[in-house]
Structure 1
Amino acid sequence: MENPRTITDLPFEVLDLIYNDLDCLRDKVDLAQSHNNLGKAFALHSRNKFRTLKPSTELTDESWYFLIKQCGTSIEEICFGGRGIYWNDRITQAIVPNCPNLKSLSTDFYTHDSKSIQHFLEEMKNSLTSLTLNQRDDFPFEILKVVSEMSKLKQLSIRGNFDESVCHLENLIALEKLGIEYHSNSSKLRVDLIRICASLTNLQNLYVSDVEILPYEKPFLATWARLETLNLSRCKLPVELPDCPQLKFLNIYLPICHNEGYGFKFLLENGRNLETLYEAFEPPIDADSYLELFRACPKLRRFYTAMNHNNLSPGHKSTISEILKANGVTQEDPFEMIISRLYF
């Protein structure tokens, strides 16, 4: 009598068809866990489906651990939080030995996760190129100290209630994109941003929210030569910011200026290559200032402003049309202006 054949004896091509008929990830993983061959077939079936892994309550911790062990070589990015689950020790224990190609981590976390995250970052500091840390309570100094040693980081975003230890970020000389979003019920955090960015010569994208940018001290007022995108949201600005000759995108939202009108002056001085502008000054800029703005920004094509449209007289509208025509605006290269009392 021939030996009976079971599902585990089927070729991977057939098992792939079986996995295709299973709509629920939980069912697929349950099947894969039942036999070694079925686990291998699941990994083959999955291929690059888990290049970005977003752990959720759809699977148990043990099942996510199994999935990472089976598919770890294809995982390049892991995202904790959002609608999924927050930082999880059981899951992350499988990442370091099984995900050699991991380049990006995004996570929400609480203080009680700090030691685990710190250890993980130490293990992965020579491979991660993108990191997003969204702290839900206190941001421990030790984490930012470890982050500052991650020499290959090109993208970094930190959000939460941190302290002056943010100055360690000046060591991340490979950074191309940096986001600093301070969340606290107290006063704005004083950040020596100009000194931090002086060493970040590759920086192209900068987002800063709810901080006080300290005045510069020579020689730290360097030109932000490669910066193309700048977001300044509810920040207290110093007397002067570095020149941004390559700036293409600017979002300047409710700036608090040491010198009245400096935010608008910075916009005019750095508008020559600007293509997209979001602005919300308080008080709003007047109609004549709009004419200055359009003359200073000849490449501007998308403009979002909080000014009341009733402040623009027919004469101003006519002059704006003439300036835009001189700036090269055509049907093929149109200009979009959105005016609203509400800034979004």
Structure 2
Amino acid sequence: MHRPDLSAPAPPTSTDRVEALDALRGLALCGILPVNMIAIAGLPSLPGSWQGALPQWLEVTAHQRFFPLFSFLFGLSTALILDGAAGRTARPWLVLLRRLLALGVLGAAHQLLQPGEALLPYAIVGLVVLLPASWLPRPVIALGGAVAIGVALTFTSGGLLLIPGLFLLGLAAARYGLHRQIAAPNRAAWTAVLAGAVVAAVPLLSIQVDTIENSGFDQVSSTAGLVMAVGYASALVLLTASPVGPWVSSVLAPLGRLALTNYLSATLLVLLLTMVPAFSGPGGYRVLLPFAAAILVVQVVASRWWLRRFRYGPVEWVLRSISWWTPVRMTQADGGHPDARSSL
């Protein structure tokens, strides 16, 4: 039997992607963007009782809704990365270790532009929690994730403290083959999940609206966010399996495949937009959604153009090359498929 060269493991060659996972990641980016824009531009919050203002609508539709989905997908993608690396090197954990360290450096630099960004916490939690957990049996991982989320929601207001649990649940989900269920969904099962999320979300949203001044700082808004994240994800899985699925995937999947590049470039674009006088003060909310839509359109068009020519986004390529400690091939093979199973 051929023993792999431990000093120079072979980089990935050809594996199938799950396009629906890319679409889910793209959806998460769409929801995260307007929330991050508020923080980057320093738009003022509008405290008080429910008035139906845009910041309040974003609290009940976007804030804390898409970040959990993105975090869960990170954990799931990590499992796919490890599984793919296990077939090419005897030390797949070393590939992930280098990846997380590089992500931490990238996140630390990104913190200078967007304080409170997610990459640095992802790298830290990945090193402390996700990497060690990858050696555990999948029932233990799943139980640990559920307990971690339960503790975070019971004793805190969630936020970044949900990351460990979401990472673990994502890792366990991949071990149980959820990505295959997303690629070829059982419509009845996913419809039941969506229905359950809707039923659970209604009373939670009612309470959140009544206590909107505490949104983001209490257990109700965090719990509502998790429930709605499940609802959004299940709705998109069903949509990608419908007749309009190819069109939906053609828009969201490229965005998700270049998730890291798009996440970072969005920060730069928002910082440029802060130079526009209209995007400041309370009046900045009037242009928030049009600006967010414009950024997403640019990123979708650019991502589609880029992926017709290259396998990875520029930042994804750097991260992957560091992970494998050798430059990976960037250009597309004729008629070939990307050799990555996940973007993050």
| TM-score, with length taken from structure 1 | 0.23
Q: Which has the higher helix share?
A: 2
Structure ranking higher on relative contact order (CA contacts 8 Å, 6+ apart): 2
Q: Which has the higher strand share?
A: 1
